[in-house]
Amino acid sequence: MKRLAIYPGSFDPITNGHMDIVERGLKLFDKLIVAILLNPGKTPLFTLDERIEMLTKSLAHFSDRIEIDSFNGLLVDYAMSRGAQGILRGLRATSDFEYEFQLALMNRKLNRKVETVFLMTGFRWIFTSSSIIKQAAQFGGDISDMVPELVQKRLKEKFA
Ligand code: PNS
């Protein structure tokens, strides 16, 4: 049986921290579906198509071990519909823990067939987040070593 996990998130935009989790996740799972949540309550900086483009191009070297998709509704329902055994989440500094703990326990309560797997990001990315990167980029800060090259270009275009 192929081991399949969903790696869900907003990915607005993908960062090197996400890239690091994908790389680590592929050591445990045969395939990852990177799934963008379509969240009507949030106004993202990048459209869904823009986020798909950045994910697809940044993760192209993993070829068919990665699929990019989007979903709405409950994550566990999406995971079941895709036949995934796992949900992959990255953990950075301690501040992530409480929210991730709640999310994982709620997901377990909703569906016990899907296990959440946490992977710790590389130390370099421990304080990297999409929202902090967007703030820095908006005011011309150098974020070149925190995001893939294409994302850096797209952020520049967005804030030009
Ligand atoms: O990268 P993010 O924005 O922190 O990702 C959050 C995400 C997408 C994992 C979470 O919001 C989610 O799974 N939303 C879908 C709705 C759901 O199933 N929520 C958990 C149980 S209420």
3-state helix, strand, coil in the chain (%, to 5): 45, 20, 35
Q: Flag whether pLDDT at 1 surpasses 90.
A: no
Q: What percent of the chain has pLDDT over 70?
A: 100
In this structure, are strands 31-37 and 86-91 parallel, antiparallel, or unpaired? unpaired
Give, using CA atoms, the residue closest to atom 2 of ligand 1.
9
Round to whole Å and give the CA distance between 37 and 55.
Answer: 13
105: pLDDT confidence band, cut at 50, 70 and 90?
Answer: very high
Give 106-140 pLDDT, tens digit per residue.
Answer: 999 999 999 999 999 999 999 999 999 999 999 99
The helix-helix angle for 149-158 and 130-138 (nearest 10°) equals 50
Q: Ligand 1 center to residue 86 CA distance, Å? A: 14
Respond yes or no: is residue 42 known to be catalytic.
Answer: yes
Which atom of ligand 1 lies closest to the CA of 87?
A: 9
Q: pTM for this structure?
A: 0.97
Q: Ligand 1 center to residue 8 CA distance, Å? A: 7
DSSP state of 59: T
Catalytic residue (one of 18, 51, 89, 134)? 18
Under a CB-based contact definition with an 8 Å cutoff, are residues 110 and 74 in contact?
A: yes
